[in-house]
């Protein structure tokens, strides 16, 4: 069995070596050289981690933000509105630069050996913060639209059954708003996964960053690497879309909505 697997891999590597030998600009080096392949795998893994963590944080930000938009305090509502304006109306690329280089200067550092000064928030940390807040701003708006779609009369029925504001949000408004929000959420999360490539600018070793290091070392691998990037993101986003569609189906209420 393992012999067979080894043989197949061997054959694939041989095939791409031959392609490279015959076509100087189509050097799929990452398919036959272990060092380059490991870069691709580690880049892909970083992209997946970054996506998953940012999706989760951005969802939390969206839910909490939409809840705060209905808060009694005008100050709280103004803070949420300001946050949305800032993150929605500026490019995520600029946000990443600003967070890492401008705010990064003020982050405390620690020193494991007495010589090195390591900031407590790494570039990966800043990418997570920046991208989560970026996508979170859109999620707040998406959830708010969902919350507004829940009829006031349904909330009144809950109120007359003794539910408090918080209980109404948790048990009735949120579950209904979520269902309305899923299609728009789907779009935003797809965008978020694609936007993780911009973490490149602060040297987060995700898939695009690793790909660029490969084609810098091997210019002959540039076209193959770019082609691979397209297929890799098609697959990644495909997983997100299929997952979201299944979720939407699972959440569907018989006899309700479309």
Of 50, 55, 172, 193, the one binding another protein by CB under 8 A: 172
Distance CA 192, CA 206 (A): 14
Q: Which is nearer to another protein, 100 or 174 (CB)?
A: 174
- Per CB under 8 A, the segment of 12-20, 168-176, 216-224, 231-239 that binds another protein is 168-176
- Smallest CA-to-CA distance from 192 within 250, 233, 246, 232 is with 233
Of 132, 179, 205, 206, the one binding another protein by CB under 8 A: 179
- Per CB under 8 A, the segment of 150-158, 182-190, 202-210, 234-242 that binds another protein is 150-158
Residue 224, token pair as written in the block: 């193959």
In the chain, alpha helices (H)? 2-22, 34-69, 74-88, 92-97, 123-148, 152-160, 165-168, 174-195, 207-217, 222-251
Q: Does 10 bind another protein (CB under 8 A)?
A: no
Q: Does 159 bind another protein (CB under 8 A)?
A: yes
Distance CA 175, CA 159 (A): 16
Q: Does 256 bind another protein (CB under 8 A)?
A: yes
Residue 1, classed as helix, strand or coil, is coil
Q: Does 162 bind another protein (CB under 8 A)?
A: yes
- Smallest CA-to-CA distance from 192 within 19, 79, 80, 47 is with 47
Q: Closest approach of Cβ 173 to another protein, in Å?
A: 10
Q: Which is nearer to another protein, 45 or 163 (CB)?
A: 163
Q: Does 183 bind another protein (CB under 8 A)?
A: no
Q: Does 175 bind another protein (CB under 8 A)?
A: yes
Q: Does 167 bind another protein (CB under 8 A)?
A: yes
Residue 118, classed as helix, strand or coil, is strand
C-beta separation of 220 from 25 below 8 A: yes
Task: Report the interface residues with another protein, using CB under 8 A.
Answer: 151, 153-154, 156-163, 167, 171-172, 175-176, 179, 253-256
């Amino acid at each position: 069995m393992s012999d067979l697997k080894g043989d197949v891999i061997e054959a694939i590597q041989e095939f791409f070596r031959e392609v490279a030998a015959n076509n100087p600009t189509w050097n799929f080096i990452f398919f036959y050289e272990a060092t380059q392949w490991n870069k691709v795998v580690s880049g892909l893994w970083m992209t997946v981690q970054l996506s998953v963590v940012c999706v989760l944080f951005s969802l939390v930000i969206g839910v909490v933000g939409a809840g705060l938009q209905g808060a009694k305090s005008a100050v709280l509502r103004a803070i949420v509105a300001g946050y949305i304006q800032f993150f929605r109306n500026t490019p995520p690329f600029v946000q990443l630069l600003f967070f890492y280089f401008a705010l990064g200067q003020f982050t405390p550092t620690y020193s494991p050996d007495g010589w090195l000064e390591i900031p407590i928030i790494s570039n990966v940390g800043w990418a997570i913060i920046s991208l989560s807040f970026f996508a979170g701003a859109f999620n707040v708006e998406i959830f708010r639209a969902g919350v507004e779609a829940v009829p006031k009369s349904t909330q009144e029925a809950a109120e007359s059954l003794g539910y408090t504001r918080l209980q109404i949000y948790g048990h009735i408004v949120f579950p209904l708003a979520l269902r309305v929000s899923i299609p728009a959420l789907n779009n935003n999360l797809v965008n978020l996964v694609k936007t993780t490539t911009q973490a490149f600018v602060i040297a987060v070793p995700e898939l695009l960053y690793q790909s660029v290091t490969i084609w810098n070392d091997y210019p002959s691998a540039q076209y193959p690497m770019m082609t691979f990037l397209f297929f890799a993101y098609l697959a990644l986003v495909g997983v997100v879309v299929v997952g979201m569609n299944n979720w939407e189906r699972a959440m569907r209420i018989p006899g309700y909505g479309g």
